[in-house]
Amino acid sequence: MTRRAFAAAASAAVFLAALPEAEARKLAFRISRVKKLTRVGGFVILNIKGRKILFVRDSAESVRALDAICTHKHWLVSYEHKSRHVVCPKHGSRYALDGSIKKGPSEKPLGVYRCRLVKGRVLLDL
């Protein structure tokens, strides 16, 4: 990820809002505040509570959230909408949007987060 992309991700994180205390492990943000998620196929990596999380707008009605760190040698992953795969640029591992491995050398799946798109808000369970 470029320095510029990190800066964009960091500024997007400003718009995250914690929900009430009873839901302290949940976060929400308006999808309109993260431009890269406003179109299907868009993705962004946000730093949330010390975790790098890859958000993927995989359809008009949904957003996926996965760990953004490859399980092989810990590089940042990216998303390729054409194949609908999460890809690691370092050694070529590929993951499906459910975190499962499509191609090694990774041997462990990516972690996934429960993530919903409700009335224009992305709701994330940490």
Query: Could you list the residues that contact ligand FES (CB under 6 A)?
Result: 70, 72-73, 75, 88, 90-93, 105-106
Q: How far is the CB of 71 from ligand FES (least distance, A)?
A: 8
What is the 8-class DSSP label of residue 111?
A: P
Contact call for residues 88 and 101 (beta carbons, < 8 A):
no
Give 28 or 76: the residue with its C-beta nearer to ligand FES: 76
Q: How far is the CB of 53 from ligand FES (least distance, A)?
A: 17
**Could you give the count of Cα atoms lying within 13 Å of 91 in the half-sphere of its Cβ?**
13
Q: How far is the CB of 10 from ligand FES (least distance, A)?
A: 23
Q: Which amino acid is at 100?
A: S
Q: How far is the CB of 72 from ligand FES (least distance, A)?
A: 3
- Burial class, 74, CB count within 10 angstroms (exposed 0-12 / middle 13-18 / buried 19+): exposed
Nearest CA to 106 out of 117, 92, 85 is that of 92
First to last CA, the chain: 23
What is the 8-class DSSP label of residue 69?
A: B
Give 92 or 126: the residue with its C-beta nearer to ligand FES: 92
Give 88 or 122: the residue with its C-beta nearer to ligand FES: 88
Give 12 or 88: the residue with its C-beta nearer to ligand FES: 88
